[in-house]
Amino acid sequence: MLLSKGYKVFGIVRRSSTTPYERIAHLVDRVELLSADLLDQHSLVDAIHDAAPSEIYNLAAQSFVQTSWTQPVLTGEFTALGVTRMLEAMRKAAPHARFYQASSSEMFGKVVETPQRESTPFYPRSPYGVAKVYAHWITVNYRESFGLYAVSGILFNHESERRGLEFVTRKVTDGVARIKLGLARELRLGNLDARRDWGFAGDYVDAMWRMLQQDTPDDYVIGSGTTWSVRQLCETAFAVAGLDYHDHVLLDEKFLRPAEVDMLVADPSHARKKLGWEPTMAFPQLIERMVLADLARHRPR
């Protein structure tokens, strides 16, 4: 999206012995990748100094909720303290840049009001959610302490065909495609009764960009305002391929979480009013698009 608006785009990558750029393969000749690591303060200062950015989007995190129970300390390092390191690097190397922090609906966790808006108190339910609450408040604190243009976008689940296979929407759409094409017979899932407010990632990056174009920095909730269960996700996705989820979905306790977020639904009226933001793709169309993309990917050429 930034490239289509004429931006020069840099990304940071942490060193690895392999180059897993699968999801940005179509972009690697159009963006400049700099080596840096959220665990290494100095490398972040150098990367921001070299790129001299006008806008910084911090989307980096250990972002899989389930893993945050098995790697809680690492999750805190990347997802919480990593944000302080980014803000410190910006303060040092690009204090006039605008900073976007990818905050999360997981901060609302065991919700204290419905729908959830900017003023809803947080009650995180996983080490990931707890780390994101820290990250949110350090962003607000650096804005208030140092006058940085720093915003926190509280985004509800946002999905597309580029979603990682471990997240439930993509796990289901990929599973449907493999079952339809005879590559698998069953799909093992955890809690089918959890409800989420799922939207299209393309709409949500537009909201991030809009947040950084305002006269004054503020925080915004971004979501569709609708909520669907994992069971409804299964019904919708299997139906796209002419299948019935009852014939293929099995419960596997391995995918149940030690503490669950039962239901999330956004009230995005602040974003609608201030940013003029509206989602363009409803949940059934989003899931259909993802199933069709996975069918095309798995179909023999």
Residue numbers annotated as active site:
104, 106, 128
To ligand GDR, the closest distance from the beta carbon of 96 in angstroms equals 29
Compute, in degrees rounded to 10, the torsion defined by CA atoms 175, 199, 141, 41. 40
- Smaller CB separation from ligand GDR, 210 or 257: 257
Binding-site member from 10, 13, 110, 190 for ligand GDR (CB under 6 A) = 190
Contact flag: residue 191 with ligand GDR (CB under 6 A): yes
Distance CA 99, CA 54 (A): 9
Q: Which of 173, 168, 183 is nearest to 252 (CA)?
A: 168
Dig out the tokens for 62 from the structure: 């250990």
Task: Mention every residue, 6+ apart, whose C-beta is less than 8 A from residue 287.
Answer: 169, 173, 233, 236, 237, 240
Using CB under 6 A as the binding rule, the residues of this chain from 227 to 266 that contact ligand GDR are 230, 255, 257, 260-261
- When the beta carbons of 65 and 211 are compared against ligand GDR, the nearer one is 65
Decide: 10 and 51 in contact? Cβ < 8 Å: yes
Phi, psi of 182 (to 5 degrees): 75, 15
Residues in binding contact with ligand GDR, number by CB under 6 A: 21
Residue from 98, 143, 196, 248 binding ligand GDR (CB under 6 A): 196
136 binds ligand GDR (CB under 6 A): no
74 by Cβ neighbours in 10 Å (0-12 / 13-18 / 19+) ranks as middle
Nearer to ligand GDR, 7 or 123 (CB): 123
Amino acid of residue 298? H
Given the rule CB under 6 A, which of 25-33, 39-47, 176-184, 185-193 is the region that contacts ligand GDR? Answer: 185-193
> Does 105 engage in binding with ligand GDR (CB under 6 A)?
yes
Strands 228-229 and 187-189: unpaired
Distance of CA 292 to the CA centre of its chain: 22
Site string for ligand GDR, 75-104 (x = CB under 6 A): -----------------------------x
7 vs 284, beta carbon nearer ligand GDR: 284
Collapsed DSSP state (helix, strand, coil) of residue 35:
strand
Q: Decide: helix, strand or coil at residue 226.
A: coil
Smallest distance, ligand GDR to C-beta of residue 252, A: 7
The residues binding ligand GDR (CB under 6 A) are 63, 65, 104-106, 156-157, 166-168, 171, 189-191, 194, 196, 230, 255, 257, 260-261
